[in-house]
Each structure stands twice: as structure tokens, then as C-alpha cells.
């Protein structure tokens, strides 16, 4: 969170120094910074990340080891912030000075859930005797509760999330099982994008 906050301060200082919105008619450059929540989705193979670790364990018929089951994060499907970024880009193109700010794109408050909720839901969605186990060892401190205030994007951009957390987790499991079966993931991903775009905002 601190690193993201610092990045936004740097972007703001750069914008005000070189592309100040007050002088937009002279330079013609709109500069915004965008921030997402905890982005999840099919095709994420990163290490030491909750969803990829869960999927790897399930795929190998292993229990998932969970460190901090009560941590709460603003989980969201990767297509959610991407849709917001596109809206910002469109507004910068048409009204650069007005939208040269920082923007948050996260889930609705009710979708900021615990790690325990995530892994329990994934166990149910995966089936096949999937399970998880609490890691009782001591680990470095992590913030217990993180969230994003997206009210500005809601009101000024008209942007709202389309998929809730349960829908998102179901999509992730569906994508990963399709990959295991050897399906054409380009086709699967395009279908998922189409489904997302046709969904109504919540």
C-alpha cells in the first residue's frame, strides 16, 4: 500500500511540474494514475500469491497451506480494473485536463472478503476432495484489512464493477480446469471477455 501511495505522489508531482492541467491547452497532455485492488483471474502463475497457490495445490491433489485466513483484501477479477483503465484513457483523450488525477478501481465493499472465505469457496467450486490447512508458524506481519475507496470513479466516470466475488472465483476455476483439459485458452479468454462486457454493472 505504501509503495502504491508513493507511486501516486510521484505521478502527481510529475504531472504538476511538467503537464499541469491548468496549462493543458499549451501542452495537450492528460496524465492520470490508476490503482487496482487485489487483482485475480485465470492464467496467473505467480508464486506466493493466494489464488495461484490454491490452484497449484488443487491441481496436484495437495492441501492448500494458508497463513492468514482472516486477512481481508479488495479482491477483483482482472477485467474489472482493466475496464476502468480504458474509461480513464477515453476521458483523457476527450477531456484530458478534467480527468488528470488519481483513480481507484476496486470491488464493492461487500466483496472485500477474508482469505478464509476465498479458500472455502474455491474448495467448494473445485470439488474432488480439495481442502486447506492452517499454517501455524509465525510469519512477517501483514495488514489485516485493506480496501479501496472507488466512489470517485463511480460518480465521475460512471464506472462500477460487473462481477461479484463469487462469480469471479467461479470464472477462475472454470478457466483453470479448461487449461488442464488442454482447451484453446485464447478462445476461452475471448469468451470470458465477451461475457464480462455483456454483464450489467452491479
Predicted model pTM: 0.91
Q: Is there a contact between 31 and 53 (Cβ–Cβ < 8 Å)? A: no
User: Using CB atoms within 10 A of its CB, is residue 110 exposed (0-12), middle (13-18) or buried (19+)?
Assistant: exposed
pLDDT tier at 2 (50, 70, 90 boundaries)?
A: confident
Instruction: Tell me the pLDDT tens digit for each residue of 105-122.
Output: 999 999 999 999 999 999
Phi, psi of 112 (to 5 degrees): -85, 95
Other CB atoms within a 10 A radius of the CB of residue 39 amount to 19
Lowest-pLDDT range, 33-42, 55-64, 142-151, 157-166? 142-151
H/E stretch holding 174 reads helix 165-180
Would you state the cell numbers that stand for residue 157, as one nine-digit string? 466516470
Would you state the cell numbers that stand for residue 121, as one nine-digit string? 469457496
Instruction: Tell me the pLDDT tens digit for each residue of 18-67.
Output: 999 999 999 999 999 999 999 999 999 999 999 999 999 999 999 999 99
pLDDT score at 128 = 87
Q: From CA 11, how far away is CA 7, in angstroms rounded?
A: 6
**CATH among 3.30.930.10, 3.90.25.10, 3.30.470.10, 3.40.50.2000 for 32-198:** 3.90.25.10
Q: Is there a contact between 53 and 185 (Cβ–Cβ < 8 Å)? A: no
- Percent of the chain at pLDDT exceeding 90: 86
End-to-end CA distance of the chain: 26
pLDDT score at 140 = 64
Domain ranges (residues) in the chain: 32-198
In the block, residue with C-alpha cell 480496501: 147
**Average pLDDT value over all residues in the chain:** 94
Give the CA angle between residues 128, 134, 136 to the nearest 5°.
Answer: 155
pLDDT score at 202 = 65
Amino acid at each position: 500500500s505504501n509503495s502504491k501511495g508513493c507511486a501516486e505522489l510521484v505521478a502527481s508531482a510529475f504531472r504538476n511540474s511538467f503537464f499541469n492541467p491548468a496549462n493543458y491547452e499549451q501542452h495537450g497532455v492528460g496524465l492520470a494514475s490508476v490503482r487496482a485492488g487485489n487483482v485475480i483471474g485465470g492464467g496467473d502463475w505467480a508464486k506466493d500469491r493466494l489464488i495461484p497457490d490454491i490452484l497449484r495445490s488443487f491441481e496436484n491433489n495437495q492441501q492448500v497451506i494458508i497463513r492468514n485466513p482472516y486477512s481481508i483484501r479488495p479482491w477483483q477479477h482482472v477485467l474489472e480494473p482493466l475496464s476502468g483503465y480504458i474509461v480513464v484513457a477515453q476521458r483523457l483523450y476527450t477531456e484530458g485536463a478534467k480527468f488528470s488525477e488519481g483513480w481507484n478501481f476496486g470491488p464493492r465493499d461487500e466483496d472485500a472478503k477474508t482469505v478464509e472465505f476465498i479458500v472455502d469457496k474455491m474448495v467448494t467450486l473445485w470439488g474432488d476432495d480439495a481442502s486447506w490447512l492452517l499454517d501455524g508458524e509465525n510469519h512477517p506481519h501483514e495488514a489485516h484489512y485493506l480496501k479501496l475507496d472507488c466512489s470517485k470513479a463511480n460518480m465521475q466516470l460512471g464506472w462500477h464493477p460487473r462481477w461479484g466475488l463469487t462469480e469471479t472465483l467461479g470464472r477462475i476455476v472454470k478457466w483453470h480446469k479448461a487449461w488442464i483439459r488442454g482447451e484453446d485458452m485464447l478462445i476461452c479468454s475471448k469468451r470470458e471477455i465477451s461475457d464480462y462486457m455483456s454483464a450489467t454493472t452491479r
